[in-house]
Amino acid sequence: MIFEIVIFLLTFLLGYYFYSYKQVHNYFKQRDVKFLPGIPIFGNILGTTLTTKHFLDDMTAVYDAFPDEKYVGFVELTLRVLIIRDPELIKSITIKDFDYFTDHREFFTAEADPLFAGSLLLMKGDRWREMRTTLSPAFTSSKMKYMLPLILENSQNIIEYLNDHQSQSIEVDDIIRRYTNDVIASAGFGLKINSLQDRNNEFYRIGTTIFDFGLKQKMIIILNTCFPNLARKLGFHLFSDRTYNFFRNIVSTTIEYRKREKVDRPDMIQLLMEAPREWTADELTSQVFIFFAAGFDTSATALVMTIHEIALHPDVQEKLYQECRRHKEEKQLTFDSLSELKYMECVINETLRKWSPAIFMDRTCVKTYELPPTREGGRPYILKPGDIVYNMVNCLHMDPKYFPEPDKFIPERFSEENKHNIKPCTYAPFGGGPRICIGMRFAMIEIKVLLYNIILNFNIVKTEKTMDPIKLKPHNFNIKAANGTWVKFQKRE
Can you spell out the DSSP letters for 262-298?
A: T---SSHHHHHHTSSSPPPHHHHHHHHHHHHHHHHHH
pLDDT band at 81 (very low <50, low <70, confident <90, very high): very high
| DSSP-derived secondary structure for 13-53 | HHHHHHHHHHHHHHHHHHTT--B---BTTTBT-HHHHTTSS
Is 203 or 455 the better-scoring residue by pLDDT? Answer: 455
Angle at 287 between CA 283 and CA 290, to 5 degrees: 135
Please report the pLDDT score of residue 21 as a whole number. 64
Go through the domains of the chain in sequence order and give each one's CATH number: 22-491 (1.10.630.10)
pLDDT band at 8 (very low <50, low <70, confident <90, very high): very low
Residue 87 clears pLDDT 90, i.e. is over it:
yes
pLDDT digits (tens, 9 = 90+) for 224-243: 766 667 766 776 777 778 88
pLDDT digits (tens, 9 = 90+) for 362-412: 999 999 999 999 999 999 999 999 999 999 999 999 999 999 999 999 999
Q: Which backbone phi and psi does 389 adopt, to 5 degrees?
A: -125, 145
Average pLDDT over residues 244-254: 88
Q: Which of 48-62, 210-224, 365-379, 415-429 has the lowest mean pLDDT?
A: 210-224
Average pLDDT over residues 76-80: 87
Please report the pLDDT score of residue 210 as a whole number. 76
pLDDT digits (tens, 9 = 90+) for 326-355: 999 999 999 999 999 999 999 999 999 999
Q: What is the dihedral sign for C-alpha 152, 153, 159, 162?
A: negative
The secondary element (H helix, E strand) that includes residue 458 is strand 458-462
The secondary element (H helix, E strand) that includes residue 69 is none
Give the torsion through C-alpha atoms of 174, 176, 180, 182, to 10 deg: 70
CA-wise closest residue to 101 among 380, 370, 385, 373: 385
Residue 49 clears pLDDT 90, i.e. is over it:
no
Average pLDDT over residues 97-104: 97
Average pLDDT over residues 43-69: 94
d(Cα 158, Cα 182) in Å, to the nearest integer? 11
Give the torsion through C-alpha atoms of 139, 144, 147, 153, to 10 deg: 130
d(Cα 137, Cα 155) in Å, to the nearest integer? 25
Q: Which backbone phi and psi does 432 adopt, to 5 degrees?
A: -160, 165
Residue 15 clears pLDDT 60, i.e. is over it:
no
What is the chain's percent helix, strand, coil content, to nearest 5? Answer: 55, 10, 35
Q: At 140, is the secondary structure helix, strand, or coil?
A: coil
Residue 222 clears pLDDT 60, i.e. is over it:
yes
Please report the pLDDT score of residue 475 as a whole number. 73
d(Cα 121, Cα 105) in Å, to the nearest integer? 10
Q: What is the pTM of this model?
A: 0.92
Write b or e for each residue in 438-449: b if 16 or more Cβ atoms lie within 10 A of its Cβ, otherwise e: bbeebbbbbbbb
Residue 447 clears pLDDT 50, i.e. is over it:
yes
395 among annotated binding-site residues: no
SS (H, E, C) 291-326: HHHHHHHHHHHHHHHHHHHHHHCHHHHHHHHHHHHH
CA-wise closest residue to 223 among 385, 40, 17: 17
d(Cα 485, Cα 175) in Å, to the nearest integer? 11
